Amino acid sequence: MALVTGATGFVGSHLVRRLVREGWAVHILSRAGSRLPEAAEFAQVTQHLHDGSTAGMVACVAAARPDLVFHLASLFLAQHETKDVEGLIQSNVLLGSQLLEAMQVNRIPYFIDTGTAWQHYHGADYNPVCLYAATKQAFDAILEYYVQAGGMRAITLKLSDTYGPHDPRPKLLKLLDRVAETQEPLAMSPGEQLIDLVHIDDVVEAYLLAAQRLFDGAVVGHERYGVSSGKPVALKQLVALYEQAAGVSLPIHWGERAYRKREVMTPWIGERLPGWHPQVDFSASIAGRKR
């Protein structure tokens, strides 16, 4: 039995569907007013509404009684404004801390967290690209406390960029789809930054392998792994692959936009989860999809 946070997000919704198809009893944590995906698998999940309090979180976890928690809920902002600070802390630090406390109270031993490759600017052990990445690292430190003091066993999967079907996010591929359809010129950076894209099917597989690793007793303490294609591609080359696979020509104006502050030119890859290897080829997946 699993409890999943962030189940309405892109990665979380794909994970929930896969878990249900494989026979897991799935519970999801959400806020009042959250709209669940229309996928048939979500008719088989049990929803728990969190009122925002720590006591409420303890009650939700007690009601679910999961064997393992997948924590994917977060607020992502590549660049923040002053008004965003509270939301980032509440979503990326407070919520997870409440969840860990609830797990300790209810004696739930296994936890899979979601980090980001952006915690490692320039490949450093820790150098956050942005405040979002800093909040991920802050929560990692809190998780370490519960592991060390409470005996919890945890795996953190630090994700690179993800892509795949049914993605509502305004990410690169959706932008390219729009340009392909409208043929409106698009100003972009010089395009020399490397992009590390991992298909959602491969990402979900990493979560399932991490769960099995915990159940097998292979984890002592807190392990951290990168979920990377291992083959980052320059943005210019990636657009060329898209054009070739989709059979289109895109009116990209390279160099008309500056790189953003702290642009990631070379992605961090990290240690790979034992037994996990990306299987989906980017060009093949683009050629086979419908825009």
Chain centre to alpha carbon of residue 77: 13
Whole-number average pLDDT of the chain: 95
66: pLDDT strictly greater than 70: yes
Task: Tell me the fold of 2-163+197-227.
Answer: Rossmann fold (3.40.50)
pLDDT in tens, 18-54: 999 999 999 999 988 788 888 899 999 999 999 999 9
Residue with the two structure tokens 């064997």 = 67
289 confidence band (pLDDT: 50, 70, 90): low
N- to C-terminal Cα separation, the chain: 36
The helix-helix angle for 172-182 and 235-246 (nearest 10°) equals: 50
Q: Is 210 left (phi over 0), alpha (psi -120 to 50) or beta?
A: alpha
> What was the pLDDT predicted at 288?
62
Higher per-residue pLDDT: 169 or 205:
205
165 confidence band (pLDDT: 50, 70, 90): confident
> What was the pLDDT predicted at 287?
64
Per DSSP, the three-state class of 130 is coil
Q: Where are the domains of the chain?
A: 2-163+197-227, 172-196+230-287
291: pLDDT strictly greater than 70: no
290: pLDDT strictly greater than 70: no
> What was the pLDDT predicted at 67?
97
- What does the pLDDT average to over 236-258? 93
Two domains, one topology: 2-163+197-227 and 172-196+230-287: no
Report the C-alpha gap between 237 and 257 in whole angstroms.
17
pLDDT in tens, 182-197: 999 999 999 999 999 9
Q: Which CATH class is domain 172-196+230-287?
A: alpha beta
- What does the pLDDT average to over 91-112? 98
Mention every residue, 6+ apart, whose C-beta is less than 8 A from residue 38.
none
111 confidence band (pLDDT: 50, 70, 90): very high
- What does the pLDDT average to over 223-234? 95
176 confidence band (pLDDT: 50, 70, 90): very high
> What was the pLDDT predicted at 282?
81
- What does the pLDDT average to over 133-158? 97
